[in-house]
Amino acid sequence: MSDFNRRDALKIGAGAVAGTAIVANTGEAFAQAGTELKLTPEKGAKLRVLRPSKFVQGDETVWIENTKKYQQQTGVEVRVDNESWEDLRPKSAVAANVGRGPDIVYAWYDDAHQYPDKLLPLNDVYNYLDKKYEGWYDIAKKFSTRGRNQISVVLGSPGSKMVYRKSHLAAAGFSSFPNDFPGLLECCKALKAKGTPSGFALGNAVGDANGWCHWLVWSFGGKMVDEKDKVVIDSPETIKALEYVKQLYDTFIPGTLSWLDINNNKAFVDGQISLTNNGISVYYAAKTSQDPKLKEMALDIEHANYPVGPVGRPTEVNLTVPAMVFKYTKFPNAAKDYIRFMMEKEQYEPWQTASIGYFSHPLKAYEKSSIWTVDPKHTPYRDTMKNMLWPSYAGSLGYASAGVLADFIMVNMVASVCSGSKSPKDAAAEAQKRAERYYKV
């Protein structure tokens, strides 16, 4: 964890927004005019920000630089705590329940929907950014909206793609990455036979395991809930997905049942595996390394979209980071203004660039960012949020969906079949019962 504290008193620039005055929950008024927003931070404001620890150094470095810049412009003192991925969610929940802690949390997925009554509505910031940056993608709207309010502002998505060694696939007889499930299975079998296997995380990993396990089940038409929020995970479609994944798992390197989000990165960089699902962080680590062998590996790394399953369309879900402000904050205007500031082009694009596109954007205007075309290996990550589904697809977001995700029901179902502890039929039945506890059936 790292803390940052600094205060430099400079006058904040004034902005106006949209012709009419709107009163926020705090009682502070702000005005709208075009695409400008004025949120005057409270006198003597001090903020504590909790965010995920870095997976690529550029993310943290430029985030701190942008935070310094904000302090210099506003005089607001900001402390940034970078929390481990697995600890971020429980620490956020504790803060919500006890009513004290960080003012702002950059959390995971639909965490905001676990305690929406504890959060400050962010409609003003959300609407301002929506108008200025060509609109939010639908998935960002879904994560942010609760009833008539926006309870979060989505920062972006550490998007996941298939990450592989081009030369190893070629040695296994594949000139390009497979785009369907039969091809993926044959590719993984061939990689194992060559001694360059694949490996996908199956521990309770916030990002990687959730990402590929949901994608796999959805690809066969399985769902945790339907459009009416009825639990339907125990289905023929889910069982077919689990039968497939058992075959896929048999090609993995040993040990993936306990892998968290860091393990597949390490295994890939160490040369233990040739294929996994991941963000651009593996490529970043190799490309920026001072080790000649890793720099050479970077030339061999490629990225591809997930194969399309029997449903015939992409079914990807990706780790998403929403910014939330707790109602207990003493400085609501400063908190909202900090979130706005970090989403502005002057800060957002340099931050994206420093992390070579590790975070895919939620606002359409950032499709044009040069980071996506300066290196063709970045490009597959550009449309992450444009195309992705949400974790409780095809149902709604709420207390139940957030609880099911936080309890790793989908991941545990897949892992239990891969480990051989349960048959596909028994694993689906258990997942059904676990999910129904949250959906109050």
Same CATH fold assignment for domains 21-150+322-379 and 161-317+407-438: yes
> Strand runs (DSSP E) across 135-280, as ranges?
145-146, 149-150, 153-156, 161-165, 275-278
Architecture of domain 161-317+407-438 in CATH?
3-Layer(aba) Sandwich (3.40)
Question: Given pLDDT bands bounded at 50, 70 and 90, which one contains residue 25?
Answer: very low
Name the residue ranges covered by the structural domains of the chain: 21-150+322-379, 161-317+407-438
pLDDT of residue 122: 98
pLDDT tens column, 27-75:
333 333 356 898 999 999 999 999 999 889 999 999 999 999 999 999 9
Tens of pLDDT along 81-135?
Answer: 999 988 998 999 999 999 999 999 999 999 999 999 999 999 999 999 999 999 9
pLDDT computed for residue 441 by the predictor: 59
Chain-wide mean pLDDT for the chain?
91
Q: Which CATH superfamily is domain 21-150+322-379 in?
A: Periplasmic binding protein-like II (3.40.190.10)
Mean pLDDT value across residues 203-211: 92
Contact 191, 199 (CB under 8 A): no
C-alpha distance from residue 406 to each of 19, 87, 108, 113, 114 (Å): 42, 12, 10, 12, 10
Question: pLDDT tens digit string along 289-306?
Answer: 999 999 999 999 999 999
Residue-wise pLDDT for 315-345, tens only, equals 999 999 999 999 999 999 999 999 999 999 9
Q: What DSSP string runs through 346-378?
A: HHHHHHHHHTTTSSBPSBGGGGG-GGGTSSTTT
The answer to whether the pTM exceeds 0.85 is yes
